[in-house]
Amino acid sequence: IKKQQQDVLGFLEANKIEFEEKDIAANEENRKWMRENVPEESRPASGNPLPPRLFNDSRYLGDYEAFFEARENNAVYAFLGLTAPPGSKEAEALAKQQA
C-alpha cells in the first residue's frame, strides 16, 4: 500500500498537480469519509476499501490499478478530471485524435 501511495504522490508532485492527501490511518473522520464515498461497486467483497483511493473533490475516480492503467495509457489528466497541459504526452495524443 505504501509503495502505491508513494507512486501516486510522486506522479502528482512531479507533474505539479495540486492535491490533498487524507491520512485514514490516524484520522477516523477521514477513514469514515472514504468508506462512505467509495461507490458500492468499487468496494471489496469483504472488509473496507484500502488506500490509495483517488477522488476529485467528493467524486470517486478509482483505485491504484485504475490510476496505473490511466498512466500507462497517457490518460492520467482525463482520469483525474483535469485538462492535460499543453506539450504533455496526453495533450499531444488528444490533438492527434481530434485531427
Residue 48 has pLDDT above 90, yes or no: no
- pTM for this predicted structure: 0.88
Q: In sequence order, which residues have a C-beta less than 8 Å from that of residue 43 and are 6 or more positions away?
A: 49
Q: pLDDT value at position 93?
A: 87
Q: Could you tell me the residue range of the domain that residue 13 belongs to? A: 1-98
Task: Compute the mean pLDDT over every residue in the chain, rounded to the nearest whole number.
Answer: 94
| CATH, residue 52 | 3.40.30.10
How many folded domains does the chain comprise?
A: 1
Please write the tens of the pLDDT for every residue from 68-98: 999 999 999 999 999 999 999 899 988 888 8
- Percentage, residues of the chain above pLDDT 90: 82
Give CA–CA dist 84/90, Å, rounded: 6
Q: pLDDT value at position 20?
A: 95
